[in-house]
Structure 1
Amino acid sequence: MAHDSLEQRELVITRRLKAPRALVWRTFEDAYLLAQWWGPENFTSEITRLEFRAGGQWHVTMHRPDGGEHPVRYQFVEIVAPERIVYRPWRSSEAVNPPPGYLATLTFEALGDETIFTMRAEFDSAAHLAVAIEGGFFAGTNQAFDKLERHLATY
């Protein structure tokens, strides 16, 4: 029986953001600011719930350019301000097509007036990672972080 190694289940994206850590952190804890950049390019996002604490829920609806909607729910597992946010998507047992399961760990490392921002997504299986990549997770996440960089440049 094959065993998934962590490498086959993990996706890591790191950015050096030209903004101080406190500001980058604020773009996650403030629902209005988060909505400004969350989601792939040409998508807009509406944050309908943001309970920014361990055990809290985060509901976002991403609106596609064609008018379609993509609602996603997350649950915060851990929040250590201003260093780390850990969350996972909520997977309903009734969902016909549940999202791939993963645990996302975001880290914020202060580097003078800049921030080393890393997202580490550990998927429940190699199959979940493959489905996520096919569905645009890697590309869409990178596009969202591009939007975050542009948003931070406006301060």
Structure 2
Amino acid sequence: MDKTVEIKAGEIKPQNERELVLTRVLKATPAQLFKAWTTPELMTQWFAPKPYETPLVEIEPRDGGKFRTVMKGPDDFHMDSTGVLLKVEKDRRIIFTDAFGPDWKPTEKAFFTAEILFDDLGDGSTRYTAIARHWSVEDAKEHEKMGFHGGWGQVASQLEAVAAKL
């Protein structure tokens, strides 16, 4: 997948070498996307790029709430990530990090903080922006090599398919 995206009015560009940004226009409303992002049963359907899956999601959609995902995939891939939701604005944005776990206890190694934005385009579609902010340039490069643009782009399409049915 081509990671080059034409920047249009309202879209966000990376602010430095530690940020990765993905923007898509999705055929779903901000309310539908927000619900798909904050309902565990819905998140398990779209959160990991196929053939990976997310069999477990725990989310408390509030500022300071727990955010845990377990991903599984080919070659015995298993990733259990627990973090916190820093900011939750219904139908507008979600910010989460893996820097802290429940009860604001620091995790062993923070990798990134994500900001998810839902901008209503007024025609039943939404400008969806995912920003991954890393603590180091090396972490951002590693995330990019892991397939940030392709994987998060595929996940955005999967999210759209789930949200559009709500």
- Structure 2 gap ranges (5+): 1-13, 101-106
TM-superposed CA distance for 1:114, in Å, is 0.8
Give the equivalent residue in structure 2 for 1:55. Answer: 64
Give the equivalent residue in structure 1 for 2:111. Answer: 101
- Per-residue Cα deviation, 1:95-137 (whole angstroms, up to 9, x for no partner): xxx4x62221111111121111111112112111012122333
Give the equivalent residue in structure 1 for 2:36. Answer: 27
Q: Per the alignment, in what secondary structure is the counterpart of residue 17 of structure 2?
A: helix
Instruction: Answer with 55-64 or 128-137: which moved more.
Output: 128-137
Where do 1:1-155 residues align within 5 Å? 6-90=15-99, 92-93=107-108, 98=109, 101-112=111-122, 113-155=124-166
Q: Distance in 2 between matches of 1:80 and 1:154?
A: 22
1:37·1:151 contact (CA, 8 Å) conserved in 2?
yes
Q: Per the alignment, in what secondary structure is the counterpart of residue 119 of structure 1?
A: strand
Structure 1 residues 48 and 33: CA distance shift in structure 2, 3 A: closer
Root-mean-square deviation (CA, aligned residues, Å) is 2.0
Give the equivalent residue in structure 1 for 2:11. Answer: none
- Per-residue Cα deviation, 1:76-95 (whole angstroms, up to 9, x for no partner): 110111111001124632xx
Q: Distance in 1 between matches of 2:15 and 2:118?
A: 22
Give the TM-score normalised by structure 2: 0.78
Q: Per the alignment, in what secondary structure is the counterpart of residue 8 of structure 1?
A: coil
Give the TM-score normalised by structure 1: 0.83
Percent identical residues: 26
- Structure 1 gap ranges (5+): none
